[in-house]
Structure 1
């Protein structure tokens, strides 16, 4: 079982889109048992996978990450049964590229704030690591859709990062996006100091909405690629998430999807291929001999040298 956070501290970098795509392709294409834990209060990935009504029902029935954390705070022991907090999206019966069954844990943004006011950071930042992670062993992958603008006061979301084995950082090839990366890396490095074992390892920067033929990419990304190759930055994924209009509908909960093709384009489309290849690469990096390299602090003057500061 591997727990992977999808995280960038800047909003709008496509964390939810990547979370949905990886969840679908790991489950259906890579034949993995996948749980998506949505810790973003906006519940974008939850709504995309389950539909707005199912998310509302889970919140109304108190089957969210907030109720789970409340139970952990009260009992201070390992969770024996995770099922009451999960909502399952059933598999489809299509003959070609059907969607697989997946589990989702939805957030409750309003209740999270109230609960976190009662929590103490120094005492409660590793509760998921201690009491939830052992209960997730039946899954091959647990993906965590993290919120942007993460702060220590968001103790529930920080718990998700602390219990993660790896983190994937999606980033768009714009000057504003790249200039915001140091805050993301600083937060990951901070969590690594909390765990004391280098986790979560930054398994890769995922170029999101990227097309090497476009001027924006050619202007902003070569320096990042060079720094990653020299070990000054975490490694880049070899494959990238392509810019495509179909992504706008892939996370639209008003759409009904029965196959990977209907959600991400035909098997011959660049979008479908990109999703499949990124999911395959993530699976290989998590289960193979890939080494993310030893954790080391990313120097702030790197951004000055790259002309991004």
Structure 2
């Protein structure tokens, strides 16, 4: 199993949107793992539950929270060594039905968050605890999934052990951002947390998560804001031994609408409309940097 973390310590930069379209595109058969179409899992660690609600709907997520079938109870049981039925904690998004030859939204699975449960676990969780959380969760999921996408919350620090475990269990981390002054000022906080987790991995002799790159969101390369800050963003990336991805996402209401769980979508182009080309290019570049075999479909 390869795990992709989507993280920025600032809110509103598109972490859940990026998690959503990567899950959609990868599940459509556009990438292969071990020469077959992968089984995709999304772990939503943001208490708001935006990506999980977008994928399986508010009612399903509300049911999972009520029945304690979310990420926090799963981690608690794994830490205790109890035997679990993983099927009790993963929510299915069935394959969509498309018209004609359009690429259907593929089948995938989701683990939803629940804020109170996450807070309760973190009350008495030290460094050893969060390292163990990352280990047991990855080991439990590894036989069942090929690609896991972890949607992380904003505003975390070293007290937030479950999001840190999400970073620690990842193979590669991508940082969505927009090219505004306010957002760029917040990037060092994100990189500090990433480097903290990378140091822990080295100390614990765990495979160190790689920084795959910065994904530009809400971007117009003709705009003054982009021209003013693009070079600085490239320098920030270079300081972290990473890159700004060549492909980007524009400022587009359609990309916000794509996450509306009250709308029904059966196909990729239906969900992303005229911006599907941008979504496709970014997803393929992410796949390449994450080490998947990508097939340019649709």
Same fold per TM (> 0.5)? yes
The offset of 1:281, in angstroms, is 1.1
CA offsets, 1:211-259, max 9 Å, x none? 111111111112322554x565521111112211101211111111111
**d(CA) in 2 for partners of 1:217, 1:21:** 23
Match of 2:18 in 1: 18
- Does the 8 Å contact 2:79/2:133 carry over to 1? no
Aligned-pair Cα RMSD in Å: 1.9
The aligned length equals 281
Identify the residue that residue 248 of structure 1 maps to in structure 2: 256
Counterpart for residue 121 of structure 1: 126
Query: Aligned pair in 2 of structure 1 residues 106, 288: CA closer, same or farther (>3 Å)?
Result: closer
Structure of higher RCO (CA pairs closer than 8 Å, 6+ residues apart): 2
Aligned counterparts of 2:150 and 2:79: Cα–Cα separation in 1: 20
Q: Distance in 1 between matches of 2:271 and 2:110?
A: 18
CA deviation string 1:248-307 (max 9, x = no partner): 211111111111112101xxx2x1011111111111111169xxxxxxxxxxxxxxxxxx
Question: For 2:233 and 2:149, how far apart are their aligned partners in 1?
Answer: 26
Native 8 Å contact 2:75 2:137 kept in 1: no
1:225 — aligned with what?
234
SS at match of 1:103: strand
Alignment match, 1:82: 86
The residue that corresponds to 2:289 in the other structure is: 285
| Stretch deviating more after TM superposition (191-200 or 168-177) | 191-200
Q: Secondary structure at the match of 1:36?
A: strand
Distance in 2, matches of 1:225 and 1:82, equals: 42
Residue segments in structure 2 that go unaligned for 5+ positions in a row: 31-36, 294-298
Equivalent position of 2:268 in the other structure: 260
For 1:44, which of 28, 50, 59 is the aligned residue?
50
CA offsets 1:67-126 (integer angstroms, 9 cap, x no match): 111102322x7x664222100000023242211001000000122212322x32222111
Instruction: Find out whether 1:203 has 2:233 as its counterpart.
Output: no
1:213 corresponding residue in structure 2: 222
8 Å contact from structure 2 (residues 17, 259) kept in 1: yes
Query: Which aligned runs of 4 or more in structure 1 are off by greater than 6 angstroms?
Result: none
